[in-house]
Amino acid sequence: MSWWGKVVGGAFGFMMGGPLGALMGAALGNYFDGGLDNSLSLGNTERVQSVFFSTTFTVMGYLAKADGRVTPHEIQLAERVMQQMQLSAQQRQVAMQLFNEGKKSGFPLDEVLEQFKREMFRRHSLIQMFLEIVIATALADGNLDSTEQRLIQHIATELGYSKGQFDDLFSRLSGQAQFSSPQSQQQRLEAAYELLGVDSSISDADLKKAYRRLMNQHHPDKLVAKGLPEEMMEIATAKTRDIKAAYELIKSQRQ
């Protein structure tokens, strides 16, 4: 049985616990009308997948409410992520409920992040992927206000990122957003360097190393093996496509 089947079956209520267990329970709501199945248990990978899914959508909801109100555009951004994940109708319903839980007054952000970090246990690539999804969603409308940026930096700090590490990650994701948007060839080339996190003066050998490092960090199969929900594989795949396209563009311009 998949992580999703076990979550709906009720195993998470006994195995996850903490604020995320309560939030997922509230989101699932009427799926437990028939009672919990005590015979189910979440394996380690399944548990990580459930935690990742829950944290992603609740924190997205929290950030959307950061400026005091949730705009239709912010809801559309959440739905775009769900569409990219190709969620089933049932999964979309629960994801939106989690999003709504994150919007509520008193959402325990720091407690959720503490549990998320603990559950990820040394899976740095998954923590980075979570931050990339959150930042990319915030950047998607091209309008990241100071409140949102401070909150995202706070989230990164709570997950163990230094300011320098956060700035580097934020710069790369800003480059990815610009690389994917219509612009001149020169602007796209500049965005390609930013996406790869390198300067235009970098040597060809070091450029290749940076490219391979990023491809390794975002390899969909490796991320799923570590606990990324299978439904989020397409998000990781899209990132590797952009990384490869940026590298190929730079190489072609250097020849």
The stretches in the chain having pLDDT less than 50 are 1, 11, 13-14, 32-43
CA 84, CA 82: separation in Å to the nearest integer?
Answer: 5
**Is the torsion defined by CA of 130, 135, 141, 145 positive or negative?**
positive
Residues 6+ apart with CB under 8 A from 223: 125, 126, 129, 232, 233, 236
Q: What pLDDT score does 165 carry?
A: 93
Q: What pLDDT score does 37 carry?
A: 42
H or E element at residue 140: none
The single-letter DSSP state of residue 69 is S
Q: What pLDDT score does 234 carry?
A: 83
Q: What pLDDT score does 182 carry?
A: 67
Residue among 175, 217, 182 nearest 197 (CA): 175
Its pTM stands at: 0.82
Residue 235: C-alpha distances to residues 5, 40, 132, 149 (Å): 22, 29, 10, 22
Could you tell me the residue ranges of all domains in the chain? 1-121, 123-255
**CB distance 88 to 82 below 8 Å:** no
**Is the torsion defined by CA of 31, 35, 36, 37 positive or negative?**
negative
